[in-house]
Each structure stands twice: as structure tokens, then as C-alpha cells.
Structure 1
Amino acid sequence: MNPILPPSSGRELSDPPSDGISNLRFSNHSDHLLVSSWDSSVRLYDASANVLRGKFLHKKPVLDCCFHDDSSGFTAGADHTVRRYVFNAGKEDILGKHDGPVRCVEYSYAAGQLISGSWDKTLKSWDPRGASGPSHTLVGTYPQPERVYSMSLVGHRLVVATAGRHVNVYDLRNMSQPEQRRESSLKYQTRCVRCYPNGTGFALSSVEGRVAMEFFDLSEAGQAKKYAFKCHRKSEAGRDTVYPVNAIAFHPIYGTFATGGCDGYVNVWDGNNKKRLYQYSKYPSSVAALSFSRDGRLLAVASSYTFEEGEKQHEPDAIFVRSVNEIEVKPKPKVYPTPPP
């Protein structure tokens, strides 16, 4: 049995978004937290102090966000735009546009580029150091087999998950073709992809309560390590209820990871030992997004209904920031039986 933590969801941040949290991310440099929302806003919080540092508005929903550095960030808009915000100056500019809503943005420190993924079935890479405007900043456009749903970076590797269960793996130093073209090993639509911090592979979640652990190494031995497991399910009276797994976040120190589902639960997993370490007490609504702080001491949780059951009465959106205890995220050492004398 895995322990369920006592009913403390963590500290709730003040002034949350009013309609659907699409993502949240901690900075790599501080406890600043960037939050994008369907209410057309992007918010910057100091998560430790519980202070809203800034709020910026798009004309339409904001579907993703990421930091550039501690003083600026990028957003993906349903208005087809990729925007840059300079927080302290309150400035924004449009880096460029897609032909459809922009679903994902990822900034690569290794390549110095921003990558955006859109429902127009393309990736675009941008050089944010150039002057604003698409002709100055667009580095390249890369067609995808379907609409882009989720992306993740580690080092020079970019993993792109699209509709139709396609997964493309790119080397940012040569984007002309994917390094690998794969099909998800899960049977249903992909919700989230996140790379392992050690750069050896990625985790993929689906709408059908499963997570797949994948590896970049295509050798027989490398591929023999991959596996998938069920999670975010409930059994009642012999009937299984299955919930989408919306979010995956890796702990930056221990490489264990948290998953968040439409059941309102956050589970912490030890992928190497194939064990669940912890389950936090239930959140008021679906867990839409998760992010660990740079040192792994804090976990931000977006409790936000994701319309998996259509229009219905639901709890208001909330952002919780919980302090992480080592026991919740540190892998337990394997215990080997003592051989007989």
C-alpha cells in the first residue's frame, strides 16, 4: 500500500485564472511561476511569497507558456500568435504567427531558440534575439503528420506528440527531418509528453488512464526497457472508471515523476523500480498541469476542470503550491533478500 498524504493540498495562490488553466511552469532561476489560461491571461506569480507579480492579456485563450529567463517569457495563443513578454517593463511583442491556434511553446537553452507547435500541423522555430516580426525571427517551419498536442525538450532533443498517436523525435541541430518517427505505444489519444531529466527517453500519457515509459535508444536492449502502466482509475462494484492523465512532471533531483489526472489526484512514481511512491489527497477538480520548482522543493498543481464530461457545474480554478518532502519523491533503495548461509 502507498501512503496517502494527510489532507493538505498545499498553499492556494491568490488571484487565480477564471477559466481553465492550460499550463503552469516554474522558472529555472527562481520560484517564479508562469500560468496560462483559457481566460486569455498569462500570470506571473512569486510562488514562495504568494504574490501576483504581473498579468498580461491576449485577445483569445492562452494555450501554453514558458520562461525565456527570469525577466521574460513566451506564450502560445488561440489567436494563432507566439508572443514574448518582458515582465518588469510590462512590454509584449509578437514573435510570429501560425495558421491555426498555437498549442505548445518550449524554449531551448541549448539552441537559443523557441519552438512552437500548432494545430495547423506545423512546428516553427524562432530566434528571440532578432527584431520582432516573423520575417526577422523565424528560423524554420517543419510540417507534422497531425495537430501538435504536446512537446518536451531535453538537451538538443525535442519530442513532439501529435493527434493520431504520432511521436516525432528531433535533434535541434538538424531539424530538416525527425531523428525518429514513432507511433505511441498507448492505444488512445496522447495528452502529455515529458522527457526524462537524464536525457534517455520520455514519458507519454493518454486519455485512457495510462502512461508509457519510452527510451531513445533503438537497440533491442534499449527498447526492451520500455513499458506502460495503468493509473488514475477507480474500481467500484466491479466497474472500472478510467480518467485522462493530463500532466506529467519530473523531479529535477531524483528523476521520479508526478502524474495528474481528471480524477483530481496527483501520484508520484519511481519509474526505475516501477512503483508508486505517494498519492496526495484529492484536489477539488481535475489536475490540469503540474510543475516542480528548479530545486524540487515545491510542486505547483493546477486544479482546473478540463471539460472531460462536457459543460457542468464545477469547482473554481485554483493553483496550489505544496512543499515537497524528500520521502514523497526519493526512490526507495532496492532490498535484496539475504542469501541463506
Structure 2
Amino acid sequence: MTSVHPPPISGRELADPPTDGISNLRYSNHSDHLLVSSWDKTVRLYDASANVLRGEFKHGGAVLDCCFHDDSSGFSASADNNVRRLVFNYGKEDILGRHDAPVRCIEYSYAAVGTKLSSVGILEVLVGRSALLLEQYPQPERVYSLSLVGNRLVVATAGRHVNVYDLRNMSQPEQRRESSLKYQTRCVRCYPNGTGYALSSVEGRVAMEFFDLSEASQAKKYAFKCHRKSEAGRDIVYPVNAIAFHPVYGTFATGGCDGFVNVWDGNNKKRLYQYSKYPTSVAALSFSRDGRLLAVASSYTFEEGDKPHEPDAIFVRSVNEIEVKPKPKVYPNTPA
């Protein structure tokens, strides 16, 4: 009889990982395919369930972001100043746009059909099958993170600026905001229900924000501490690199330079779960389309400078409902 060993608590490690820092990873909206960008100048396509590397694209510079178009193609943003379309089945790529600086972020909008977004400090919108440059939208500082929900685009930049756009009218931001967090923004992600966004910083905090500017809605916003620990009487604080919302329950996971992944119930302001520590910083997170799987990029992000560190790795863990489902509120004198 052959003994079967369960996967480690951190999840199953994918074969053939990138050989340098992982900049982002994303699950497809149509399958368990996983797209991964890296500083080793590659974009890799995995079948995460089968643990198989399906394809690899090599660029002329570090790849700083990637996203899917559909299950047959995707897009990449590179430090070689190019935006590319990647055709998975044929292993081919097209250069859609050449820029004057590295391209930091890229998003594809499913709401505004045919629209793709990339940023270099100037927001550039590319549309149509040929993805010709339509317009440029100067930003106040370097763009650090983008997020889309419906027709809303949130752009987080250096200087703690946050611009909110309506893709149907990009002439100017719908809202110009300043982060409520005191330190540099690391990641922004929109709520799946389209009512707002979560913003993380290098100082171990996350802010929960709402688009509706009414007094009642703004009274609901808050910020909380996370990814920090006390040692010898002092607080050690870690950057929060990644935020990923669960597609079914609307709860969310955060990943930090402390190597931990925490799952939060934003509505009830509670932590639901903490996974076992990963070998090094958690650089990126992504839930699969049905929320059954969570991909975790364990990749040192050089927050402590150039030093020996664990090899880059991608872990895929099965998600149990108890880890991500909000717990019902229990009121006094009410049975649990």
C-alpha cells in the first residue's frame, strides 16, 4: 500500500518557478490557469491544478506586471518600455505599445470592451484589437498600483495620491484623493461589489475606502494595523505588498514582507485566518475564479537590501470555507 502525504500547510509548490523576483501573478477568469510575471524577464503560464508550466515568454527587460485577456491570450508590462500581447496557444507575442519609460502596471477591462490600461507615471489607455494608443493622462507622481471594477479605475501613485476615473469619461479624474495612510502606497484593490477599494502601505496598514462621498458612506471608512509584531518592547512593521479579494465572499487576503498571509472580514473588522509563514516575503496573491485556490508568490522584495534569501517560489493552496467565509454577528441574548 502506497502512503499518500498531504501537501504542506503552505500549499503545493509549483514546478519551474521564476528565477528572480516575482512581480505579480493572476488567475484566469475562465480556468485554473495562472499567469506570472518576473524580474527574470519572463512571463510564465501555468496550469495551477495540474502543476504544469504551459508556456514561457521572454522579454528584453524585467516584467513588472501581467494580466489575462482571456484563456488564449494575455498582456505584459515590461521594464524594456513595451506593452505586449501574449498568444498562449502559439507562443507568439505582439508589441502593442512602446513607451519612454518602464511600464509598471497593466489592467484589462472587461466592462469597457477592448480597453486595456498601462501606466508609467502617465496613464495611457489603449483600445481596440490593435490596441492603438488613444490618450495619455498625466498623473501627479509615479504610478505604483492600478485596480479596476466595472467602469471604475483606481490609480495609486507616489506622494500618496489616489485618482479615481470613470472609463466612460477619462477627460479628468472623477475623484482626486489623498491616501488616509501616512506612508507610501504599496497596493490598491477594488472591492468586488464596486463600492470602494482597499489600499495598503509600506508601514503595515490597510485602509478601507468608499467611492460614495456622502457623509454616511465616508463614516464607514477605516484603517487597521497588520503584518507587524512586537519584539523586545518595540513594534516591527512590515510592508503590505498584496491584497486579493475572495470572489464569492468578498473577504480579502493580505500578504506582507513578514512572510504571512492573513484573511480578513472587512465588514466585521476581524481577522478570519492566518496561514503558516512562507519562506520569504509574500510579493503577490490571487484567488482562483471560484475561490477554491489561492496562489501565493513567496519572493523576497528587497525591503532589507541585497542579502541572501530563500529562492522564489509559487505556492497554490486549497482554500477551506472556514478560512474565508464571514462569521455571522452574534448579538447579546441571541443564540449563536
TM exceeding 0.5: yes
Looking at structure 2, the residues matched to 217 and 145 of structure 1 have their Cα atoms a distance apart, in angstroms, of 23
**Partner in structure 1 of residue 332 of structure 2:** 337
- Which of 311, 320, 330 is the equivalent residue of 2:315? 320
Work out which of the residue numbers 275, 294, 302 in structure 2 matches 1:280.
275
Supply the distance in 1 between the matched residues of 2:221 and 2:119 (Cα, whole angstroms).
Answer: 26
The Cα offsets for residues 269-324 of structure 1, whole Å up to 9 and x where unpaired, read as: 00000000000000000000000000000000000000000000000000000000
The Cα of 1:99 is off from its aligned counterpart by: 1.5
- What's 1:107 paired with? 108
Indicate yes or no: 2:93 matched with 1:98: no
Report how far residue 98 of structure 1 moved: 2.1
Match of 1:173 in 2: 168
Shift in Å, 1:155: 0.2
Contact 1:156 1:173 in 2 (8 A): yes
Instruction: Quote the Cα distance in structure 2 between the aligned partners of 1:31 and 1:249.
Output: 16
Structure 2, unmatched stretches of 5+, are 1-6
**What stretches of structure 1 move > 6 A for 4+ residues in a row?**
none
Aligned to 1:306: 301
Aligned match for 2:139, one of 121, 138, 144: 144
Q: Kindly state the Cα deviation for residue 7 of structure 1 after the two structures are TM-superposed.
A: 5.9
Residue 128 of structure 1 deviates from its aligned partner by: 4.5
Look up the match of 1:133: none
Q: Deviations over 1:15-53 (max 9, x none)?
A: 000000000000000000000000000000000000000
Aligned to 2:74: 73
Aligned positions of 1:264-279 closer than 5 A:
264-279=259-274
Q: Which runs of 5+ in 1 are unaligned?
A: 1-5, 131-135
- 1:138-165 per-residue CA deviation (whole Å, 9 max, x = no partner) reads 1211110011000000000000000000
Q: Confirm whether residue 235 of structure 1 aligns to residue 236 of structure 2.
A: no
Q: How does 1:178-217 map to 2 (within 5 A)?
A: 178-217=173-212
Corresponding position of 2:3: none
Determine helix, strand or coil for the equivalent of 2:104.
strand
8 A contact 1:95–1:128 mirrored in 2? no
Q: Find the counterpart in structure 2 of residue 127 from structure 1.
A: 127
Give me the identity figure in percent. Answer: 84
CA distance in 2, matches of 1:266, 1:165: 24
What CA deviation, in whole Å up to 9, does each residue of 1:32-79 have, x standing for no partner?
A: 000000000000000000000000001100000000000000000001
Aligned to 1:252: 247
In structure 2, the residue corresponding to 1:102 is in which secondary structure?
coil
Amino acid at match of 1:123: L
Q: Which residue of 2 aligns with 1:58?
A: 59
Q: Compute the displacement of 1:12 (Å).
A: 0.3
The 8 Å contact of residues 7 and 281 in structure 1, kept in 2 or not, is answered as no
RMSD: 1.0
Deviations 1:240-281, CA, capped at 9 Å, x for gaps: 100000000000000000000000000000000000000000
Provide the rounded CA distance (Å) in 1 between the counterparts of 2:92 and 2:19: 23
| TM-score with structure 1 setting the length | 0.95
Name the structure 2 match of 1:262.
257
Q: Aligned match of 1:154 in 128, 145, 149?
A: 149
Name the structure 2 match of 1:116.
Answer: 118
Tell me how far apart the structure 1 counterparts of residues 210 and 99 of structure 2 sit (CA, whole Å): 31
TM-superposition CA deviations, 1:84-112 (whole Å, max 9, x none): 00000111011102221111000001112
For residues 289 and 41 of structure 1, the distance between their equivalents in structure 2, rounded to whole angstroms, comes to: 16
CA–CA distance in structure 2, aligned partners of residues 160 and 293 of structure 1 = 24
d(CA) in 1 for partners of 2:174 and 2:99? 24
SS at match of 2:35: strand
Distance 1:160 1:176 in 2: 15
For 2:332 and 2:234, how far apart are their aligned partners in 1?
Answer: 37
Give the paired residue count: 327
Instruction: Kindly indicate whether the alpha-carbon contact (under 8 Å) linking 1:78 and 1:102 is maintained by their aligned counterparts in 2.
Output: yes
Normalising by the residue count of structure 2, what TM-score does the alignment of the two structures yield? 0.96
Rounded to whole Å, the distance in 2 between the matches of 1:280 and 1:192 is: 20
Tell me which amino acid in the other structure corresponds to 1:107: Y
Q: Distance in 2 between matches of 1:223 and 1:101?
A: 36
Give 2:4's aligned residue. Answer: none
Q: 1:3 matched to which residue of 2?
A: none
- Distance in 1 between residues matched to 2:118 and 2:100, nearest whole Å: 12
